[in-house]
Amino acid sequence: MRSIAAWLGLSALIVVFDQITKLVILGTIAFGQTVDVLPPVFSLVLTYNPGAAFSFLAWASGWQRYFFMLIALAASILLVYMLKKHERDRFLCFALALVLGGAVGNLIDRVIYGAVLDFLLLRWPGGPRLLDPWPAFNLADSCITIGAALLIWDSIRRSRVKRL
């Protein structure tokens, strides 16, 4: 995968899978209902998050919807630019494509539902109360998180190479 089209294709595939999973959840689980999949660790629960990660600004009066839509749109444009600029760097482009797919998936939610649809719920039995349960999330959130972690790893890797 060395062309921007391939990386954009990967991002589009993430968006499609993200939206399909959300439609399946919408068709099978009622709002607030919890379905234990792997008790007590993993459940499905339909929630809407009008805020950002960890429900940041979820309490706001509604302006945050447009604020986060604007951020997602600006980030997506920047990510496409970076994909084009670095299209030969497979690792970097893979990470950027993950973040782009996740950002667009959640942007679609904000446009359609006014909030991001979350449904995956992890618990840490016996762990710190702060982390139990973990906030609900979705496939797009997972791709953003993995992509961001890979970008950090890539940055560390590049800084080590420059020092040598």
Q: What are the residue numbers of the active site?
A: 118, 141
Per-residue pLDDT tens digits for 11-22: 999 999 999 999
Asked, for residue 133, whether it belongs to a domain, the answer is yes
Asked, for residue 26, whether it belongs to a domain, the answer is no
Asked whether the predicted pLDDT for residue 104 surpasses 90, the reply is yes
Asked whether the predicted pLDDT for residue 96 surpasses 80, the reply is yes
Average pLDDT, the chain: 87
Helices 4-28 and 139-163 cross at an angle (nearest 10°) of 150
Number of domains comprising the chain: 1
Q: How far apart are CA 11 and CA 49, in angstroms?
A: 22
Asked, for residue 164, whether it belongs to a domain, the answer is no
Q: What is the pLDDT of residue 68?
A: 81
Per-residue pLDDT tens digits for 10-60: 999 999 999 999 999 999 999 988 898 988 888 999 998 876 665 555 555
Asked, for residue 14, whether it belongs to a domain, the answer is yes
Region 115-129: what's the mean pLDDT? Answer: 80
Region 137-145: what's the mean pLDDT? Answer: 95
Q: What is the pLDDT of residue 129?
A: 56
Region 138-147: what's the mean pLDDT? Answer: 96
Phi, psi of 86 (to 5 degrees): -115, 30
Q: How far apart are CA 104 and CA 10, in angstroms?
A: 12
Q: What range defines the domain where residue 67 resides?
A: 4-21+31-158
Phi, psi of 101 (to 5 degrees): -60, -45
Q: Residue 140's Cα: distance from chain center in Å? A: 3
Asked, for residue 37, whether it belongs to a domain, the answer is yes
Q: What is the pLDDT of residue 5?
A: 93
Q: What is the pLDDT of residue 66?
A: 81
Asked, for residue 101, whether it belongs to a domain, the answer is yes
Q: How far apart are CA 16 and CA 10, in angstroms?
A: 10
